[in-house]
Structure 1
Amino acid sequence: MKITDFIANSIDRLPKGYIFTYADLTDEVNKKEAVIKALNRMAQAGKIAKLSKGKYYKPEKTVFGNLQPEQKQVVKDLLEEDGKVTGYLTGLSMFNKLGLTTQVSNTIQIGKNQTRPRFKRERYTVSFIKQKNTITRENIPLLQILDAIRYIKKIPDTSMEQICKRFLAILTSLSPKEKKTLIRLALKYPPATRALLGAMLDQMQAKDLTAPLFQSLNPITQYNILGISKVLSTSERWNIV
């Protein structure tokens, strides 16, 4: 089989929007140059799209043009290393998916234990948020919630009242075990995040769970989050003004 036919058949089996490199198509060193040339020819012909140097994808075509790959695909090399999770989408990347805003950001934020300077990748700006907890596949959804609470003031195109109501719905959907894990993870977050999480859990009548959060805070420190008191009757107990 010709190398071009082999590549075309291999790409046909990939899902639309999946980002790949020559290494995903062959591990034979002597075929590397031929594969790269074939991929570039296919990109020039419009059969595949080129995301950046050495990265390609099979675009999903619509009447409005080609769809961009999902953000997770764009940065998947930054989320895993040798099959181990090392990062996760968070912050601006998740506000829309969590139902906190209708806006979709061109900034991809990644939570990692070890961060690096921001950089550009195609049309996206990729930046990093320091995560002090160990990152696992299981706790990523909870870390994403905590990160969103931490950066609540940066959620665009919505009111604090709407945001808070959405957070209450998200927290209500968690199991008792997940709530306990969320609180344990929150202890490594800034005090304002812990206070706001505690106030929301208290509002949900989960006061029996929030003692670790309450005890971790300085009783004389106040947290300025305008508009929260309209939704949370518990905000005063947590010194949120």
Structure 2
Amino acid sequence: MKDTDTIVNIINKLPKGYVFTYEDFMHEVKSKQAAVKALNRMVASGKIAKLSKGKYFKPEQSVFGTLAPEQYQVVKDLLEDNNKLIGYLTGLSVYNQLGLTTQVSNTIQIGKNEVRPAFKRAHYKIAFIRQKNTITKDSIPLLQLLDAIKYIKKIPDTTVAKACLRFMAILKEKSAEDIKTIIRLALKYPPSTRALLGAMLEQLGYTEHLQTLKASLNPITTYKIEDLEQIVHTTNNWNIV
């Protein structure tokens, strides 16, 4: 079978919006040049679309034209390495998914242990947030929540009070084990994040492990997070002003 036919057969089996490179075909074709030429011919014919240099995707059409791939597909090479998690979507990338804002951003933020300068990929800006905790599949939803609490003042199209209401609704649905884990993970976040998390958990009636959070804070330091008094009544216990 010709290299082009082999590549076409593989792509036909891929789901719409799937992002790939020539490297995905190297076990099936004879050379890099053959794969690149075949892919570029398919781009020219409209069978596939080009995301950025060396990256292609299987397009899905709508009444508005070609749909962009999901954000995970756009940056999946930055999130996994040989099936090992090395990063996760966070920040602006997930505020909408968490129900914190209705806005959708063209900036994709990624949490990683080792960060790099921001760069452009297609029409997206790819930016990075340093994560000091070990990244695991189970910890990612909790890290995403902690990141949002950390950057509460930067969440677009909402207020601090509304964001806290949403945070508490999310926390209320977490299991006791998840709450224990999120408190442990929070110990590697800034003091203001720990204080706000503690105040919200106390407001929700949690008592277990809160002393761990309280003990991690300087008792004479205050944290300025305005407009919380009507929503979170425990702010004074956590030196939030």
Which amino acid counterpart does residue 97 of structure 1 have in structure 2? Q
Query: CA 1:28/1:61 → structure 2, altered by over 3 Å: closer, same or farther?
Result: closer
* CA distance in structure 2 between the aligned counterparts of 1:60 and 1:68, rounded to whole angstroms: 8
**Equivalent residues of 2:109, 2:128 under 8 A apart:** yes
**Residue 212 (structure 1) aligns with:** 212
Partner of 1:154: 154
Deviation at 1:240, TM superposition (A): 1.0
- Code of the residue aligned with 1:151 in structure 2: it is Y
Q: Aligned runs of 1:56-67 on 2, under 5 Å?
A: 56-67=56-67
Number of residue-to-residue matches in the alignment? 241
- Cα distance, 1:162 vs structure 2: 1.5
Task: Find the residue that maps to 2:129 and give its secondary structure.
Answer: strand
Shift of 1:66: 1.1
What are the superposed Cα offsets for residues 116-160 of structure 1, whole Å, 9 maximum, x if unpaired?
111111111111111111111111111111001000001000122
Question: Partner residue of 1:35?
Answer: 35
Distance 1:19 1:219 in 2: 50
The 10-residue stretch of structure 1 (194-203 or 226-235) with the greater mean CA deviation from structure 2: 226-235
RMSD, matched Cα: 1.2
Q: Does 1:202 align with 2:187?
A: no
CA distances 1:90-131 after superposition (whole Å, capped 9, x unpaired)? 111111111100111111111111111111111111111111
Structure 1 letter corresponding to 2:183: I
Q: Distance in 2 between matches of 1:28 and 1:6?
A: 7
Q: Equivalent residue of 2:126, what SS? A: strand
Provide the secondary structure at the position in 2 that maps to 1:180.
Answer: helix
Equivalence for 1:110: 110
Tell whether 2:86 aligns with 1:83: no
Give, in whole Å, the separation in 2 of the partners of 1:126 and 1:229. 36
Whichever residue aligns with residue 64 of structure 2, its letter is F
Three-state SS of the structure 2 residue aligned to 1:75 is helix
Aligned with 1:237: secondary structure? helix
Any gaps of 5 or more consecutive residues in structure 1?
none
Q: How big is each residue's C-alpha offset from its partner over 1:186-228, in whole Å with a ceiling of 9 and x where there is no partner?
A: 0010000000000000010002331100111111111111112
How high is the TM-score relative to the length of structure 1?
0.96
Q: CA deviation at 1:28?
A: 5.3
The yes-or-no answer on 1:45 pairing with 2:51 is no
What's 2:12 paired with?
12
- 1:32 positional shift: 2.2
Q: Distance in 1 between matches of 2:38 and 2:52?
A: 16
> CA–CA distance in 1 between the matches of 2:236 and 2:97?
30
Deviation of 1:30 (Å): 2.8
The aligned amino acid for 1:45 is: S
Report what 2:171 is aligned to.
171
| Equivalent-residue separation in structure 1 for 2:32 and 2:222 (angstroms) | 60
Who is 1:99 aligned against?
99
Q: Is this contact kept in 1: 2:6–2:28, CA < 8 A? A: no
Inter-partner Cα distance in structure 2 for 1:206 and 1:120: 43
Q: Hey, what's the Cα distance between the residues in 2 that align with 1:137 and 1:66?
A: 31
Structure-2 residue corresponding to 1:130: 130
The one-letter amino acid of 1:15's match is: P
Tell me, yes or no, if the aligned pair for 2:22 and 2:54 is still in contact at 8 Å: yes
Identity percentage of aligned residues: 63
Tell me, in whole angstroms, the C-alpha distance in 2 between the residues paired with 1:141 and 1:57: 27
